Amino acid sequence: MPIPFIRPNPPRLSALGEGLKAIEASGIFSNFGPVNAAFEQDMLQAMFGGEGGCVTTCNATIALMLAIQEAIGDRPEQTRYALMPSFTFAATAQAALWCGLTPLFCDIDPVTWAPSAADEERLLDSYGDRIAVIVPYATFGYDIDLERYAGLTERYGVPVVVDAAASLGTRDAQGRGFGTGFMGSIVYSMHTTKAFSTSEGGLIYSGDEERIKTLRLMSNYGFGEPRVATMPGLNGKLSETAALICRERLRSFADTVAHRSHVMERYRMALPELVFQPAPSGQQSHQFGVALLPPGWSELRGRFLEVLAKQGIGHATYFSPHLAQHSFFQKHALFGALPVTDSVASRVICLPMNDTMTEAEIDTVIEGVKRAFGDCRPYTPASHAYLASAMAAD
């Protein structure tokens, strides 16, 4: 049986009959209705210990646009850049462009693959107040240091919007959900392909409840007074039907995160040849089974993935190409050399990860990866066969 790369597992729609009937009876289908309000309260308690506030959105890309626009609201005119890693999803850069900003790409840390602190500070020092906002990505749900970002806001006066698209379920060693108490905006996705799998949906959290109030108005056309726009806005609301799916998803989510951690732990233990992110001190939410091939293996990745494909093992290569390698961002973003991003992106592989993965399926993936290593090893740079075939190709 082939093992798909992802196998989305949103709540069963056919089991939501009662909830749908209740929505129908209420006559309220959107505009922050009762199901959405209950879901926001549930999330605030379950993920953030009741601290701060949150607002849902129709997806995380719109949420990033709202949060970036809100963050840059009172920035001076000359600010133009959104500082972000190139090793992220296209949505991060697209959202900045919709806000009239130019993405400015920084390099990443070689160990965590999160934005490099040194490179962020180098760019903040050289671009000064032309940087309107910092948009770090909490890479693959990794628990990035948010206190450091609060420090950057203090030191440089630049606001921070965190792209935490894959981070619902990530907790620190004390069990606090990722983002809890952070005073900037943090954006999470509830898209089908994330661990918190629904259909479409996003969530913006902030420790600052006033900020969430503003974002809620911005998400409703910027209506600060009845049907009068008093600020920038768009329609970013989550429908009641979508909120029902989200609410249902939360009920079993703790088990989902635990199972995914188990899958990742088995990959980590059984495949020491691969390079993983550091093991979390608390709990990391895992969207995919992400790892790097060893240094020197980038040329062999295509062959390696072919061996996996032949065995029916689904896979992907997020985020390769990285953003600075997309033709659109080459025209509309600013960046210099990104050596760590180039190296990480050229070796990244994403293995299957899903909520219902069995031990036998995990074994199959592990065996498949071992076979791929075996099949490719004769071609590693150190070997004569590789040199011979490279010379023959010349």
When asked if residue 202 is in the footprint of ligand PLP (CB under 6 A), the reply is yes
Q: Both tokens of residue 143?
A: 């628990």
Is the link from the previous residue into 319 a cis peptide, with omega within 30 of 0?
Answer: yes
Give the pairing type, strands 202-206 and 53-57: antiparallel
Query: Least distance in Å: CB of 59 to ligand PLP?
Result: 4
* Binds ligand PLP by CB under 6 A, chosen from 165, 186, 204, 353: 165
Query: Least distance in Å: CB of 91 to ligand PLP?
Result: 4
* Binds ligand PLP by CB under 6 A, chosen from 40, 163, 240, 248: 163
* Binds ligand PLP by CB under 6 A, chosen from 32, 33, 48, 59: 59
What DSSP designation does 79 have? -
* Binds ligand PLP by CB under 6 A, chosen from 69, 88, 185, 364: 88
CB 129 within 8 A of CB 116: no
* Binds ligand PLP by CB under 6 A, chosen from 66, 67, 191, 198: 191
What DSSP designation does 20 have? H
Size of the site for ligand PLP (CB under 6 A): 14
Partners of 292 in the β-ladder: 275, 348
Could you report how far apart the first and last alpha carbons of the chain are, in Å? 40
Query: Least distance in Å: CB of 57 to ligand PLP?
Result: 8
In this structure, the number of other CB atoms found within 10 A of the CB of residue 327 comes to 8
Query: Least distance in Å: CB of 224 to ligand PLP?
Result: 26
Residues 6+ apart with CB under 8 A from 126: none
Q: How far is Cα 291 from Cα 112, in angstroms, rounded to an integer?
A: 11
When asked if residue 185 is in the footprint of ligand PLP (CB under 6 A), the reply is no
The region of 85-93, 105-113, 210-218, 278-286 touching ligand PLP under the rule CB under 6 A is 85-93
Contacts with ligand PLP, residue ranges (CB under 6 A): 59-61, 88-89, 91-92, 137, 163, 165-166, 189, 191, 202
